[in-house]
Amino acid sequence: MTMRKSKSPYLILAIDTSCDETSVAVTRDDWVLANVVASQVNFHREYGGVVPNLAKRKHLEFIGPAIKEALWRAHLKSIDQVDSLAVTVGPGLAPALEVGVKTAKNLALKYKKPLITINHMEGHLLSSLAKNSQGNRGVKFQFPVLGLLVSGGHTQLVLANGFGDYLILGETRDDAAGEAFDKVAKMLDLGYPGGPILTEMAKKGKPKYDLPVPMEKKPGLDFSFSGLKTACLYFLKDIDLSKKPRQFYYDFAASFQYVVAQALIIRLQRALKKYPVKQLFLGGGVINNVYIRQQIRKTAKEFKTETHIPYTDKMLSDNAAMISVAAYYQAKRGDFVKDIKSIDRLPGLCF
Ligand code: KG4
Ligand code: ZN
């Protein structure tokens, strides 16, 4: 770590290619000037999930135009005008991460800019700090704070004692919550990604089917969603879906959504009992689910804890603005890459 103090205002161009979104953002301090997200979801849909090498190919195709677009939206002419580059090094899909990491390295070397490497989950955790020029001011962390990060790859409860000082209190032992949404939607032949589809269906249904709440009686703060997935598989095994009315799908989606929310809030209650913090920060694609979000908010309120989400739902799902904001706080600590040539993607990176 070099002790290079960042100046203010500080311009960062950040890249995230951790999964199936090619994203490039430009921030001035913690203000978002541009947040370009080129989604590949239409290319992966026919395979029912993200295909790593297809993701790599699409990242290679999209990254150049996404950088140009982000610079243009931020009213910048060249990368020369930014102070630093930042990139997600992990966790994520190795072939996908590789594109962003190589691009950021090459640009940092070409333009002689410092480089900041970011953990994708830190980006989700800090996403609520982002501000924008339309009057969205973000929030300030009053440490210690809790983070509940619920995405397609992770389900984590994190205690943050300061910027860069994170402790994972609990995480999934198998599937992530978003992954469970996607797999259950696949069982019902509903398409990919399953989260938004099931969420829409659940709005029209009632949670009348009895599915097990994952790890309901198990102590601790870890999550597990593979048992719920298996329970859904058994439940649906003897059912001829072609004979079922749409209302069956709606009610099943509502029942599934209900138990996922229960699994999250049981752990959240435990965490808040043990760590009675003032603020809870949410991140990850599954938080787009308004029912789950409301249940979390309600639970936190019972503990007099405020719940925060980013100023736009776009920043809950994968995006580079959250990476750029995390990089700004890292730059303030003077934490830059020492030897740019030596960095590599870290697909299994932990907090
Ligand atoms: O955070 P994210 O964009 O990417 C990862 O880092 O994984 O999360 C993607 C996940 C997918 O599993 C997707 O199905 C889920 O978030 N998701 C949702 C909703 N929108 C996206 N899950 C539940 N309800 C939603 N509305
Ligand atoms: Zn993510």
pLDDT digits (tens, 9 = 90+) for 74-87: 999 999 999 999 99
By three-state DSSP, how is residue 87 classified?
Answer: strand
Give 5-51 as a DSSP string.
PPPSS-EEEEEE-SSSEEEEEEEETTEEEEEEEEE-HHHHGGGTS--
Across residues 297-312, what is the average pLDDT?
A: 97
Task: Answer yes or no: do 306 and 319 share one domain.
Answer: no
Q: Is the separation of the CB atoms in 125 and 283 below 8 Å?
A: yes
Give the pLDDT confidence score for residue 3 in this predicted structure.
Answer: 42
pLDDT at 135 over 90: no
Q: How confident is the model at residue 209 (pLDDT cuts 50, 70, 90)?
A: very high
Let me know if residue 219 belongs to a domain: yes
pLDDT tens-place string over residues 251-272? 999 999 999 999 999 999 999 9
pLDDT at 2 over 60: no
Give the pLDDT confidence score for residue 283 in this predicted structure.
Answer: 98
| Position in ligand 1 atom list of the atom nearest CA 290 | 26
Ligand 2 centre and the CA of 121: distance in Å?
Answer: 7
Across residues 220-231, what is the average pLDDT?
A: 96
Across residues 145-170, what is the average pLDDT?
A: 97
Specify the number of domains making up the chain. Answer: 2
Task: Answer yes or no: do 168 and 216 share one domain.
Answer: yes
Task: Answer yes or no: do 205 and 159 share one domain.
Answer: yes
Across residues 294-320, what is the average pLDDT?
A: 97
Let me know if residue 202 belongs to a domain: yes
Q: Whose C-alpha lies nearest to ligand 1, atom 14?
A: 195
Output the domain CATH number for residue 262: 3.30.420.40
Ligand 1 centre and the CA of 84: distance in Å?
Answer: 29
Across residues 149-178, what is the average pLDDT?
A: 97
Task: Answer yes or no: do 91 and 133 share one domain.
Answer: yes
Let me know if residue 170 belongs to a domain: yes
Residues with CB under 6 A from ligand 1: 19, 151-153, 178-179, 181-182, 193-196, 199, 284-286, 288-289, 317-318
| Position in ligand 1 atom list of the atom nearest CA 178 | 12
- N-terminal to C-terminal alpha carbon distance within the chain: 17
Q: Which of 256, 317, 319, 349 to mutate to test the pocket of ligand 1 (most atoms within 8 A of CB)?
A: 317
Across residues 129-158, what is the average pLDDT?
A: 92
Task: Answer yes or no: do 60 and 28 share one domain.
Answer: yes
Entry pTM: 0.96
| Position in ligand 1 atom list of the atom nearest CA 193 | 14
Let me know if residue 277 belongs to a domain: yes
Let me know if residue 293 belongs to a domain: yes
Give the pLDDT confidence score for residue 263 in this predicted structure.
Answer: 97
Residue that has been written with the tokens 């950088």 in this structure:
67
Q: Which amino acid is at 238?
A: D
pLDDT tens-place string over residues 186-205? 999 999 999 999 999 999 99
Which long-range CB contacts under 8 A does 190-195 form with residues at least 24 apart?
190/249, 191/45, 192/41, 192/44, 192/45, 192/47, 192/48, 192/49, 193/41, 193/152, 193/285, 195/152, 195/285, 195/286, 195/288, 195/289
| Position in ligand 1 atom list of the atom nearest CA 283 | 1
Give the pLDDT confidence score for residue 273 in this predicted structure.
Answer: 98
Q: How many CA atoms lie within 13 A of 270 on its CB side?
A: 17
Task: Answer yes or no: do 173 and 207 share one domain.
Answer: yes
What is the extent of the structural domain holding 187? 145-310
- Residues 63, 66: Cα–Cα separation, whole Å: 5
Q: Is the separation of the CB atoms in 146 and 279 below 8 Å?
A: yes
Give the pLDDT confidence score for residue 5 in this predicted structure.
Answer: 55
Across residues 237-249, what is the average pLDDT?
A: 95
Task: Answer yes or no: do 158 and 280 share one domain.
Answer: yes
pLDDT tens-place string over residues 104-113? 999 999 999 9
Give the pLDDT confidence score for residue 6 in this predicted structure.
Answer: 66
